[in-house]
Structure 1
Amino acid sequence: MDNEINILNVPIHNITKIELLQRLGSEGGTVVTPNVDHLMKLQKDPEFYGIYQTSTYRVCDSKILIYASKFLGQPIQEKISGSDLFPAFYDYYKDNEKITIFLMGAAVGVAKRAQEKINAKVGREMIIESYSPPFDFEKDELECQRIVTRINESGATVLAIGVGAPKQEKWISKYRNQLKNVKVFLAIGATIDFEAGEKKRSPQWMSDIGIEWLHRLFSDPGRMWKRYLVDDLPFFWLLLLQKFKLYTPPFSTREEFVNWESPRLGQILNKAGLMSIEQVDQVLELQRQKPEKRFGEFVVELGWLEQETIDFFADCLTELGLSKHRHPLGYYLYKAKLLDEDQIDLILEEQKELNMRFGEIAVMKGWVKQQTLDTVLDYLSEEFKDSFVA
């Protein structure tokens, strides 16, 4: 088992960069890179915390965390920031034709420049595609699905995404099961800007002594002052509390996070008539035994629901009422894998003859339960409901 150093309730893997590179090539996995800012966000955001706990590797992105680990008497042996890991990764695997990378993030045109520069360095088309998504892209499900399709069609085996934390980690968590070819997921923050030459990294000596943050503050004070001078300062007080065993974690264990997240999904699936109370209880019991696994993973393994159905009710359902895009009800039932294309076509044909709503016909034929239909409609804003059910 890997040696882990716990700082403010976040277990950080105490491995070297070369060990990590070797494992990623042979085993794949998701890499997140905790720094002080991440640790402070993780004190408040249970979703982000859960994603961190289920990531494959959590490696130290900060010299300050190195100092903190020594202060706690459990020194982390090496700093592995995203902006160091990514160039090390593509250099290490530059001759491995099976490793191909989709680069996602930064402003328009920046990722493309990074792609060209990296490919010139390694001497092959290792970055096979790049994309700079629009602002707030993560709130647009259609845009996210276009990105998923684009990544899948590229054939990339690695996704390197730099859109800032916790956005990049949440996007990976939400869509990784749809990315069929990707084996390695790297959350790399501002690295794409550095690779493109859009922004300069701090001098090496500043990074070595742990004041890289000061360089970033002076380079972009309007954006960075609040992060470094307000949001992150409580870290040092919390660290002192941990040293003297007075720190109270916001989420004591992964199991406590499970208890926050899983009943909510179980309740939704039960309300939708897709799982019985007994099934929900059975999964929760399994999860108590293996808290590193998600509720939906057990449901899929047991063969009770498809992964697409879990993804829809876990991630997409609550966003329906907020979406700017309106789609027919069949679109959502298809997305949840509750109806197939043939069933949708047949319902649309019968609608012309029966003068009934789409959902009514789906229920009448026994393809969708009334409970399921009602649950989906409950999450739609009132002004859109009539058009969705028509």
Structure 2
Amino acid sequence: MKRVEILNVAIDNVSKLELAKKLERHGGVVVTPNVDHLMKLQTDEELYRVYQDSTYRVCDSKILQYAAKFLGQPVQEKVSGSDFFPFFCNYHKDNQEVRIFLLGGAEGVALRAQQKINRRVGRDIVVGAHSPSFGFEKNPQECQEIIDLIHRSGATVLGIGVGAPKQEKWIHHYQHQLKNIRIFLAVGATIDFEAGCKSRAPRWISELGIEWLHRLLSEPGRLWRRYLIEDLPFFWLLLKQKLRLYEQPSWNADAIVPTDRNLWTLRIGQVLQEANLVSREQLEEALCLQNTCPQKRLGEIMTERGWVERETIDFFADELPNLVDDRLQRPLGHYLKSARLLDESQIQLLLKEQKTEHLRFGELAVRKGWVREETLNWFLQILGVQQKERSSASLNPVVEIESKQAVEMDTPSETRLSELIGLP
């Protein structure tokens, strides 16, 4: 699945139908970045971590679609929460396994939305609805009562619309207590739209990318600061990205970087998550499945679920030791190809374009949506750590000898490695 990098967010380049099919097969958490979200992500580290743990990040805004085109990375379709949710309901109108719980809106709004959606779809696809009190997210007791409501409803899908970043953070904080929920949808004002409490902009306004103006005129007291002050710097940051002058927040690259000593103690699932190849939710689901099928390896489960290629699993099992071997120096493309993240034709195209674009190999791969920026950074951090160690060791022959001895002593045997990362 191709991704488009806008500022510090990798947006999944999918259509509504593609997203619905992926969710049907794998489940997951969907967030819908727009300009306001991207501005919050420049300063809100917690929200950034929440975004990193989400399964899908889809383009909620026509302005972001224009921005992606400006950056030379077109997004095929705007997939806003208010567009996708009714599409999702219609897609599953005959699927009895899909049962939705709505959380959001003022008192009575979620219930009204439930009734209207069920009439439109022709069955009780929405099995529960609740409008929480203002500030509910700060009240653990109320949150627990909401979790109990969701459990009792028998829902398998949660649509939460309590505003960003509250809804995304609430999902992240409580999703692991909602074991029966396969799909989490952060849908913003969708519940209000479905209930008929708020009117959406006419389609032609939405297609022009000025739906924000319609909403501003509808709720000026609430939205003027967001649209006229807080979000305007986005266009300056976008221009800086176009000119390759944009600098990501310093904490963006703070993922755990394994060292030669602790790398071997990380299980394969943790490594894949830190490399942003699987989400935390997928890892936890795989671990749950492993508990019920202890004869299966974690990597085998992830491969069967379609989350990771078998060759990628094999790479982290067999070639990962090379990343912490001071004696081995290979190009970045070698590792990305070995991990089945790039193929030979893509590598050759990137090398060819390097000569004309004057960009780094990894930067080109990210721009084309072939590799996630977070995954690239993970590889670069590990390779960078080892390069730094090589440079330090080369200044002192004694250190270099001791370093080689340490590598030989600390590198586990093939049998030990398989045990540590849970592969056959």
Contact 2:28 2:281 in 1 (8 A): no
Structure 1 residue 178: Cα displacement: 0.6
Which residue matches 2:10? Answer: 11
Q: Does 1:63 align with 2:59?
A: no
Distance between the aligned counterparts of 1:21 and 1:294, measured in 2? 18
Measure, in 1, the Cα distance between the counterparts of 2:286 and 2:10. Answer: 27
2:77 & 2:281 partners in 1: Cα distance? 35
CA distance in 1, matches of 2:108, 2:273: 44
Is residue 45–residue 251 contact of structure 2 (8 Å, CA) maintained in 1? no
Question: Is residue 287–residue 294 contact of structure 1 (8 Å, CA) maintained in 2?
Answer: no
Change (3 A) 1:302 1:168: closer
Cα distance in structure 1, aligned partners of 2:283 and 2:14: 30
In structure 1, distance between residues paired with 2:196 and 2:157: 22
1:66-77 equivalent positions in 2, closer than 5 A: 66-77=65-76
User: Are the aligned partners of 1:5 and 1:11 in contact in 2 as well (CA < 8 Å)?
Assistant: yes
- Give the deviation of 1:290 after TM superposition: 3.7
Matches within 5 A, 1:130-209: 130-209=129-208
Q: Which runs of 4+ in 1 moved over 6 A?
A: 278-281, 293-303
Question: Aligned partner of 1:161: which letter?
Answer: I
d(CA) in 2 for partners of 1:186 and 1:297?
A: 16
**Contact persistence 1:102–1:156 (CA under 8 A):** yes
CA shift for structure 1 position 258: 3.1
Residue 9 of structure 1, CA deviation: 1.2
1:81 maps to amino acid = S
Deviation, 1:224, is 0.4
How far apart are the structure 1 equivalents of 2:61 and 2:120?
A: 27
**How many residue pairs end up in the alignment?**
285
Give 1:240's aligned amino acid. L
Deviations 1:68-110 (A, max 9, x none): 0011001011000000000000011011111100000000000
User: Whole-Å Cα distance in 2 between the matches of residues 159 and 110 of structure 1?
Assistant: 16
Aligned pairs for 1:369-384 within 5 A: none
Q: How high is the TM-score relative to the length of structure 2?
A: 0.63
Does the aligned pair in 2 maintain the 1:50–1:257 contact within 8 Å? no
Q: Give the structure 2 partner of residue 118 of structure 1.
A: 117
Report the residue type matching 1:139 in the other structure. K
Relative to structure 1, the CA distance from residue 121 to residue 249 in structure 2 (aligned partners, 3 Å threshold; closer, same or farther) is same
Are the counterparts in 1 of residues 28 and 184 from structure 2 also a CA contact under 8 Å? Answer: yes
Cα distance per residue 1:220-239 (max 9 Å; x no partner)? 00010000000000000000
Write the distance in 1 (CA, Å) between the matches of 2:241 and 2:155: 42
Is the Cα contact below 8 Å between 2:158 and 2:185 reproduced in 1? yes
**Residue identity opposite 2:99 in structure 1:** T
Aligned to 2:41: 42
Looking at structure 1, the residues matched to 24 and 236 of structure 2 have their Cα atoms a distance apart, in angstroms, of 39
What aligned pairs does 1:297-308 form with structure 2 within 5 A after superposition? none
Q: 1:162 to 1:185 in 2, by over 3 A?
A: same
In the alignment, which residue of structure 1 is the partner of 2:364? Answer: none
State how far apart, in whole Å, the 2-side matches of 1:204 and 1:47 are.
34
Greater RCO (CA < 8 Å, at least 6 residues apart): 2
Instruction: Give the direction of change, closer, same or farther, for the CA distance of 1:131–1:250 in structure 2 (3 Å limit).
Output: same
Q: Counterparts of 2:21 and 2:280 in 1: how far apart (Å)? A: 30
Q: Which residue of 1 aligns with 2:255?
A: 258
Alignment deviations for residues 132-170 of structure 1 (CA, whole Å, 9 cap, x no partner): 000000000011111111111111000000000110000
Q: Using a 3 Å threshold, how does the CA distance of structure 1 residues 210 and 286 change in structure 2: closer, same or farther?
A: same
- Residue in 2 aligned with 1:237? 236
Q: CA deviation at 1:286?
A: 7.9
Distance in 1 (CA, whole Å) between partners of 2:285 and 2:90 is 37
1:295–1:168 CA distance, 2 compared to 1 (3 A) = closer
Pairing of 1:307-326 with structure 2 (within 5 A) = none
Paired letter, 2:187: I
Corresponding position of 1:247: 246
2:20 equivalent to 1:21: yes
SS in structure 2 opposite 1:182?
A: coil
| Residues 340-355 of structure 1: pairs in structure 2 closer than 5 A | none
In 2 relative to 1, CA 30–298 (structure 1 residues): closer, same or farther, beyond 3 Å? closer
| Aligned partner of residue 111 in structure 1, secondary structure | helix
Q: Could you say which residue in structure 2 is the equivalent of 1:96?
A: 95
**Superposition CA RMSD, Å:** 2.8
Q: CA offset at residue 257 of structure 1?
A: 4.0
Secondary structure of residue in 2 paired with 1:258: coil
TM-score normalised according to structure 1 size = 0.68
Q: 1:284 to 1:245 in 2, by over 3 A?
A: farther
